[in-house]
A = this chain, B = another copy of it.
């Protein structure tokens, strides 16, 4: 089921500082910041040769990463996104295995305009997993 690691998401309290750090200190290629108000985040992509890191800063009052940053004020690794070929088939297999899908269980349109689902971290060793159909 699991395909490529599409991205590793890191929640950060200050996107400007984090972007400078990845670009200037760590010498990585970074994108312009993109505000995604419908997802409650502003994102910068750190482009690595084989995958990308997404730096996420909360945007708006209902950001899905606000609670995480309250618990981890310096930021931290937030989730891993894996690509899948068929997200509905993946969901059905996971649910049959007893794994919990967050929300109403139906794929939503993710930050890249593709169908995504999130799996409950308690079912996966404390790791929040996003699945994205590519």
Contacts and interface: CB of A to CB of B under 8 A. Distances in A.
Given A74-B126, A75-B125, A125-B74, A49 B94 contact: no
A62 interface: no
Contacts of A103: none
B74 A4 contact: no
Interface residues of A, number: 43
A4 to B, nearest CB: 5
Interface in A44-98: 46, 48-51, 53, 55, 72, 74-77, 80, 82, 93-94, 97
Contact of A97 (B1, B2, B18, B25): B25
B18 A2 contact: no
Contact of A1 (B3, B28, B75): B28
Contacts of A77: 77, 80, 126-127
A117 interface: no
A8 interface: yes
Interface of A: 1-5, 8, 10-13, 18, 21-22, 24-28, 46, 48-51, 53, 55, 72, 74-77, 80, 82, 93-94, 97, 99, 121-122, 124-127, 129
